[in-house]
Chain A
Amino acid sequence: MTRSLVVELSIIIPTFDEEENVEPLYQALMATVPALGRSFEIIFVDDGSRDRTFERLAAIAARDRRVAVVKLRRNYGQAPAMAAGIEHAQGEVLVTMDADLQNDPADIGSLLAKLAEGYDLVVGWRHERQDKWLSRRLPSVIANWLIAAMTGVDVRDNGCTLKAFRAELIKRVPLYGEMHRFIPAIASTFGCQLAEVKVHHHPRRYGKSKYGLSRIYRVLLDIVVIKTLITFARRPLFCFFSGAAATLALSVLSASLAIIFLKQSFVVFAAVAVLCGSLALFLGFAGVASALVSQYGGNPPVPLQLTVDHNLPGGAR
């Protein structure tokens, strides 16, 4: 990359097959972002689009030095595309948003203002969703409730791509698979101050939506993973502890049953006791393994050391 200036703000936009939305999006950004008074860059990440998205983006980048385009070799998904944009961003503050014009660039200002109050991560909350109720908003409400219950991070709208972060925080957060929905939860393992800001939501103008109902299963699995990761981050040795303890209790119970019913069914209950005991042992070892990984892995989820004398964008301290 030839650009080497450090900017205050990076706007990262993962893009997939959005050839009709790209130019209107750029115009909308240019209408609001310069007025914020900060130096900025816009990073479009072309996630293996099959239409003319990349050509349109290249044309925009040629006109405007503040626009960069990262082209991925094939389609990888939203989280990897975001990660690519984050890696190449040079701003002190990063903002992610959708390429389909459903997020309003005018909201970026309110996100940044909230960030300047001392938060590390500000997420948008689409409080007036413009989607169909049954197939979009209802599953979303259920999912958000579930995620909040499981992860303990109370975010009302996990699906809103419009978020703002401090660079040093988000660059530490691993982002892969479909983790983009859980950035607040993962970021919390590194310790962060989280805030929510109401944002506008526009209905999709051009192009087709890329999501389907089949992602429910994947999201459920991801929730289990996130829960494990959060438990792991807090106490690595004990992330399987509750499972091990419960199984151990079952084992003891079964062993007692075996002794009580000594004559009739000793074998069956004794075998069950042994099975449960072995599972408890296995889960205990799993905890030890996790602790080892945490110790010697590359990026353990320990709290970040933010510099004390922190110059917040906007000048506030």
Chain B
Amino acid sequence: MRLISEVPPPSAAPASQADAIPITSVIVPVLHDDGALPGTHRAYRAALEHQPGEVEFLYVLDRGSRQALAGLNRLKRAGEPLTLIVLSRWDGEGAALRSAFERTRGERILILPASPQVDPRDVPKVLEQLGHADMAVGNRLALENSWSELVQARLFRWLVRLLFSRIITDPVCRVRAYRRHVLQEIVGYNVQQHFSPLLAAERGFQIAEVAVRASEPPPGGTPHQGGLSMLLSRLGLTLEMLSLYVVLKFIHKPLRFFGTIGLPVLLIGLVFTGYLGISRLFFGMPLADRPALILGVLLIVLGIQVIALGLIGEIIIFVAGKRIKDYTIDRIL
């Protein structure tokens, strides 16, 4: 159940070409309660002053973020045009974006973090890329502080390039700009927003990366995440990326995925059991006290089970039939 307050009634269809007033929609998902939002908002607004046309701001908050809510309400009372979307339950950044997206009117949509990661003056640079790309992400330069972080980042990048044949240099950067129709297609996927560039690329859109400067840490220093929890969250990210890869690549060919796992297991099991059988039949080695037979049969059974799962997957895809479209259309003449 979503509780939504302080939202102007959803406007009519997004500004059509005939309107000729370009609108840029800025969505800021507020992940943690933050009292410093008003200052951040002013900085963003100043940075986007020179954008053509109108700039609208939408903030998505959890009901429990009282400080943030209070700060934003103060801004509103002072006359700032803002849209506040308050959710009764926080379901993750993706869900927040979905509810905000429904209320955007702009052709260009910019996602910004509630706690500044990027020097606000560089934000317009990301928007500019939408001129010739469908989506743009920021890339903060030279972030790694320690040797181990450097290694982790390099490893992560290598993995991304291996799986998706492209790089997101800075997956944690929350500054992203989309053309409306791109976000429209992606927003339904329930995947961490870190990977939305990969998802967009998979659907054939052009992605641009823009070098931006990291923002200065706020006075008092950033709450430093301990090394272990950082590592764990990176691991979680990697796992998520792996599952995204599997879903994207194999959604139409489940047997390829399961078969790649099941077939080797099955073959090893067959060879192993065959070896045992031959050594019993032709060389008289008694099978009786060889628990190895159990292992061989187990491998065969596991292999067949995995392959059968792949076949069931294929059946599901087949019966789903026309509902899952494989291709995305760019233009029709």
**Chain A positions near chain B (C-beta within 8 angstroms):** 1, 48, 57-58, 61-62, 68-74, 76-77, 79-81, 83-84, 88, 172, 174, 176-177, 218, 221, 224-225, 228-229, 232, 239-240, 243, 261, 264-265, 267-268, 271-272, 275-276, 278-279, 282-283, 286, 289-290, 293-294, 297-301
Contact = CB atoms under 8 A, between A and B. Distances in A.
Interface string B246-270: 0000001101100100000000000
B303 to A, nearest CB: 10
A265 B287 contact: yes
Nearest to B323: A298
A176 B294 contact: no
A268 B315 contact: no
B53 to A, nearest CB: 27
B314 A229 contact: yes
Interface string B264-304: 00000000000000000000001111110110011001001
A261 B204 CA distance: 63
Interface in B219-254: 252-253
A1 B95 CA distance: 33
Nearest to B253: A177
Contacts of B318: 174, 229, 232, 299, 301
Contacts of B311: 224-225, 228, 240, 286
Chain A binding surface, main DSSP class: helix
A224 B255 contact: yes
A299 B319 contact: yes
Contacts of A83: 325-327
Contacts of B184: none
A218 B263 CA distance: 13
Interface string B295-333: 001100100110011011011111111111111111111
Interface string B8-24: 00000000000000000
A268 B290 CA distance: 7
A230 to B, nearest CB: 10
B326 A76 contact: yes
A293 B205 CA distance: 34
B166 interface: no
A170 to B, nearest CB: 12
A272 B297 CA distance: 7
Cβ-closest 8 pairs across A and B: A73-B204, A299-B321, A297-B319, A265-B288, A74-B204, A80-B326, A174-B321, A80-B327
A83 B323 CA distance: 12
Given A72-B204, A88-B332, 19 more contacts: A68-B332, A69-B332, A70-B331, A71-B330, A73-B327, A80-B326, A80-B327, A224-B255, A228-B314, A229-B315, A268-B288, A268-B289, A268-B293, A275-B297, A275-B298, A282-B305, A286-B309, A293-B312, A299-B319
Contacts of A77: 326
Contacts of A301: 318-319
B301 A275 contact: yes
Given A264-B288, A298-B319, A299-B322, A71 B301 contact: no
A119 B95 CA distance: 50
B304 A243 contact: yes
A29 to B, nearest CB: 17
A61 B333 contact: yes
Contact of A243 (B286, B308, B330): B308
A74 B248 CA distance: 14
Given A80-B326, A83-B326, A228 B301 contact: no
B45 interface: no
Nearest to B288: A265
A289 B255 CA distance: 16
B326 A73 contact: no
Contacts of B286: 264-265
B213 interface: no
22 contacts: A57-B333, A68-B333, A69-B332, A69-B333, A72-B327, A74-B328, A76-B327, A80-B327, A172-B321, A174-B317, A174-B320, A174-B321, A225-B255, A228-B314, A229-B315, A240-B308, A271-B297, A283-B308, A286-B311, A293-B316, A299-B318, A300-B319
A58 B305 CA distance: 50
A64 to B, nearest CB: 11
B321 A72 contact: no
Nearest to B328: A73
Contacts of B312: 286, 289-290, 293
Given A229-B314, A294-B319, A299-B321, A268 B291 contact: yes
Contacts of B315: 228-229, 232, 239, 290, 293-294
B203 interface: yes
Contact of B326 (A58, A176, A224, A293): A176
Contact of B329 (A57, A71, A268): A71
A76 B249 CA distance: 11
B232 to A, nearest CB: 34
Nearest to B331: A71
Contact of A297 (B287, B320, B326, B330): B320
Interface in B111-153: none
A266 B196 CA distance: 56
Contacts of A243: 304, 308
A177 B204 contact: no
A73 B203 contact: yes
Nearest to B254: A225
Contacts of B252: 176-177
Nearest to A265: B288
Given A69-B333, A71-B329, A73-B330, A298 B308 contact: no
B304 A221 contact: no
